[in-house]
């Protein structure tokens, strides 16, 4: 019998949840199969790392990140190319900050050796700047590199072809952590200054597009990158439209002994989900399509949530205490 639209939606949710569970448990498998998406139409298995029970069993250090195409693993101490099998030991050389999309280049820094561009195939370095950087990111087309350095007291943009400095965006001193990210097909760069204000830099015109004056502890983007959520002092969440540069809504936590933990905005930008930690831990659903946001659902769950909406905005998928569940935003049943 054909599935109803509701049945199809529930089936989709189940598949998403199964995928999440499998992704979480991958580190406990006996073998780890690395898959590359160099050719989007045909996934190819490149290699298998034997006895990959966890990160420590492989390299005695933490896995930091993979390259976008899955080719290269960056850890605290090593870079491992899964295509050639080559491993570069970074002991006494620094630590990796970023990999380009193809997994062939890395930005490394630390050990007072400056910030360098490393060619993984040849294990050769080029100096970007003499100061150590705390964060770096490649542009989506790998033509630019952005660094944030307390030594240089600057957030800077570099041309990858000749490592020339294109722009100095602002000061980096006293910033606890950076929020460097390219969005909207690489047309804009998000960075935060030493007052925790978020800046949007126009990459094409090399000018500042927008500054959100609110001090944000952290932020999250909608999947289409047209809206941004700000965690403000752990007691409120602001939603902003990036295209119109206008505030959509603000929800303030008025309860004691709780704070904002996680948050997500539905794809239709109608429902804001917020999870809170503390003795008043809970998940709230707010309808923000009104002039004043309206609380439409609240339920208690364990801490450690991951929040995500289904593509049709109807279901909120949340995770806590190792379990995955979902909430129907139309019936507000969770």
Please list the pLDDT of the chain residue by residue as tens digits (334 residues): 444 444 434 343 343 333 333 333 333 332 333 333 333 232 232 223 333 333 334 444 456 788 888 889 888 888 988 888 889 999 889 999 999 999 999 999 988 899 999 999 999 999 999 999 999 999 989 999 999 988 888 899 999 999 999 999 988 766 666 678 999 999 999 998 888 889 999 999 999 999 999 888 889 999 899 999 999 888 899 999 999 999 999 999 988 888 888 899 999 999 999 998 888 888 899 999 998 999 998 887 655 567 888 888 888 887 765 555 666 777 666 6
What's the confidence (pLDDT) of residue 55? 36
- Do residues 283 and 305 touch, judged by C-beta distance below 8 A? yes
3 state DSSP class of 154: strand
C-alpha distances (whole Å) from 243 to each of 67, 198, 225, 247, 292 are 29, 15, 9, 11, 21
Give the Cα separation of 294 and 62 in Å (integer): 43
What's the confidence (pLDDT) of residue 326? 63
Helix H or strand E encompassing 162: none
C-alpha distances (whole Å) from 152 to each of 109, 115, 130, 168 are 13, 11, 8, 10
C-alpha distances (whole Å) from 290 to each of 15, 32, 223, 286, 332 are 33, 48, 22, 10, 17
What's the confidence (pLDDT) of residue 269? 92
C-alpha distances (whole Å) from 114 to each of 64, 74, 107, 119, 153 are 20, 19, 11, 16, 14
Under DSSP, the state recorded for 333 is B
DSSP letters of 242-274? Answer: TTTTEEEEEEE--SSSEEEEEEEE-TTS-EEEE
The two three-digit tokens of residue 189, written as one number = 């760069």
- DSSP β-ladder status, 227-232 and 218-221: antiparallel
- Do residues 230 and 238 touch, judged by C-beta distance below 8 A? yes
* Ordered structural domains, the chain, with CATH: 214-334 (2.130.10.10)
What's the confidence (pLDDT) of residue 175? 62
What's the confidence (pLDDT) of residue 322? 54
């Amino acid at each position: 019998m054909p599935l109803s639209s509701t049945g199809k939606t529930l089936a989709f949710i189940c598949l998403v949840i199964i995928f999440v569970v499998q992704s979480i448990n991958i580190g406990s498998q006996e073998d780890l199969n690395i898959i590359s998406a160099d050719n989007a139409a045909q996934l190819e298995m490149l290699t298998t790392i034997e006895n990959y029970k966890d990160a420590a069993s492989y390299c005695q250090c933490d896995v930091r990140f993979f390259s976008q195409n899955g080719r290269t693993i960056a850890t605290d101490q090593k870079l491992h190319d899964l295509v050639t099998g080559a491993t570069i030991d970074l002991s006494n050389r620094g630590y990796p900050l970023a990999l380009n999309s193809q997994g062939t280049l890395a930005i490394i820094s630390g050990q007072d050796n400056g910030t360098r561009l490393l060619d993984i195939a040849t294990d050769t370095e080029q100096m970007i700047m003499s100061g150590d950087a705390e964060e770096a990111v490649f542009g989506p087309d790998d033509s630019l590199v952005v660094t944030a350095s307390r030594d240089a007291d600057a957030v800077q943009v570099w041309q990858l072809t000749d490592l020339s400095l294109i722009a100095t965006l602002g000061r980096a001193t006293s910033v606890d952590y950076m929020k460097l990210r390219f969005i909207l097909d690489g047309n804009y760069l998000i960075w935060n200054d030493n007052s925790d204000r978020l800046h949007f830099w126009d990459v094409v015109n090399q000018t500042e597009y927008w500054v959100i004056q609110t001090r944000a502890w952290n932020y999250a983007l909608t999947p289409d990158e047209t809206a941004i959520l700000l965690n403000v002092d752990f007691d409120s969440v602001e939603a902003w439209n990036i295209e119109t540069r206008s505030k959509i809504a603000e929800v303030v936590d008025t309860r004691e002994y709780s704070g904002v933990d996680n948050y997500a905005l539905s794809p239709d930008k109608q429902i804001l989900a917020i999870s809170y930690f503390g003795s008043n831990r809970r998940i709230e659903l707010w309808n923000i399509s009104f002039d004043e946001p309206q609380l439409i659902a609240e339920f208690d769950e364990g801490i450690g949530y991951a929040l995500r909406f289904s593509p049709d905005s109807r279901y909120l998928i949340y995770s806590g205490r190792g379990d995955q569940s979902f909430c129907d935003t139309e019936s507000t049943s969770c």
